[in-house]
Amino acid sequence: MTAAWDAESQLLDVDKLNQRFGRIVACRDVTFHLHAGEVLGIVGESGSGKTTLLNCLAGRLPPTSGHIRYAMRGRGLKDIYALSEPERRMLMRTDWGFVTQNPRDALRMGISAGGNVGERLMVNGARHYGQIRAAAHDWLTRVEMDTGRIDDAPATFSGGMQQRLQIAKTLVVKPRLVFMDEPTGGLDVSVQARLLDLLRGLVRDTGVSAVIVTHDLAVARLLADRLMVMKDGEAVEHGLTDQVLDDPHHPYTQLLVSSVLQA
């Protein structure tokens, strides 16, 4: 590991995480930790176990073995799969956020943009229409969307707008930790660039911690403080982003870095 922070600031502690699907090993002995305010990028090719790992971390898929501990407010590091299900669901709707590659998986396509952003607030107990409306308005502005479309359904939005909306919906409850699975996948390069710029700004402004899964090294370079490289379910290399990308040690990382087309 790169730096020796004190254990106080640890937000997520993953210890020897294994995930098997029958004979297939999706994650093997993955161990790392994440500090408050830090952004960790997980890169690797398709099928290397990135998304499975993310699902395990986000409480969506219990691992075959190993521990995932999260620093709960006022309670310290707790194994998230040892928590009761309602406690874990509470974490997922208050402390955490999840941004999927396909915004249609996370948005209600028949509910207006404002309703989608407001939903997370209402789920957490907001009962004042005016305040919910104002928060939705504020967040649409922050993700640089036209607030005139607050009452339009996401079905009428472009892919980039849907992704912005999903980000607004995720961040409106001020989560401490956000999981992102290929947040810019499937978007054209100019939209990707603007979205990345936006994400970088939001991550820095809100001080949110994030785990970002991507196969796009440019995304990793822009957003991540630290990088973990996965291959065949194993974390083959991790370190500071610039260090990993500029001086890759593992042969696979070298291949990955050299495969990127230089524009």
Partner 1 sequence: MNAAAPDRAYNFAYLDEQTKRMIRRGLLKAVAIPGYQVPFGSREMPLPYGWGTGGIQVTAAIIGLDDTLKVIDQGADDTTNAVSIRRFFARVSDVATTERTDQATIIQTRHRIPEMELREDQIIVYQVPIPEPLRKLEPREAECRKMHAWSEYGVMHVGLYEDIAQWGHIAQTYDYPVMVDERYLMAPSPIPKFDNPKMRRMPALQLFGAGREKRLYAIPPYTEVRSLDFEDHPFEVQRWDEVCGLCGADDSFLDEVILDDRGGHMFVCSDSDHCQRRRAGGHVGPHAAEAPETVA
Supply the minimum distance, in Å, between the C-beta of residue 124 and partner 1: 6
Task: Kindly give the pairing relationship between strand 226-231 and strand 39-44.
Answer: parallel
The least CB distance from residue 151 to partner 1, in Å, is 5
Q: In whole angstroms, how far apart are CA 176 and each of 29, 132, 155, 239? A: 26, 20, 29, 22
Q: Which is nearer to partner 1, 27 or 113 (CB)?
A: 113
For the bound state, the minimum distance from the C-beta of residue 96 to partner 1, rounded and expressed in Å, comes to: 15
Spatial separation of the C-alpha atoms in residues 17 and 53, rounded to whole Å: 8
Cβ at position 126, least distance to partner 1 in Å: 8
- Tokens representing 191 are 């939209």
- Cα 87 to chain center, whole Å? 20
Which of the 8 DSSP states describes residue 261? P
Other beta carbons within 10 Å of 256: 22
Smallest distance from the beta carbon of 238 to partner 1, in angstroms?
36
Q: Pick the closest to residue 19 from 78, 63, 66, 79 (CA basis).
A: 63
Phi, psi of 196 (to 5 degrees): -60, -45
Question: Which residue, 91 or 223, is less far from partner 1 as judged by CB?
Answer: 91
Which of residues 123 and 260 has its CB atom nearest to partner 1 in the complex?
123
The residue among 115 and 248 lying less far from partner 1, judged by its C-beta, is: 115
Complex with partner 1: residue 43 or 132, whichever CB lies closer: 132
Element (H, E) at 27: strand 24-35
Residues that bind partner 1 in the complex, under the rule CB under 8 A? 85-86, 89, 108, 111-112, 114-115, 118-119, 122-130, 132-133, 150-151
Nearest Cα to 165, choosing from 91, 99, 216, 223? 99
- Length in residues, the chain: 263
Which residue, 6 or 85, has its beta carbon nearer to partner 1?
Answer: 85
Q: How far is the CB of 108 from partner 1 (least distance, A)?
A: 7
CB of 169 to partner 1, least distance (A): 12
Using DSSP's 3-state secondary structure scheme, residue 127 falls into coil
* Identity of the residue, 133 or 250, whose beta carbon is nearer to partner 1 in the bound complex: 133
Residue with structure tokens 């230089």? 262
Q: Identify which of 28, 26, 24, 35 has the alpha carbon closest to the alpha carbon of residue 1.
A: 35
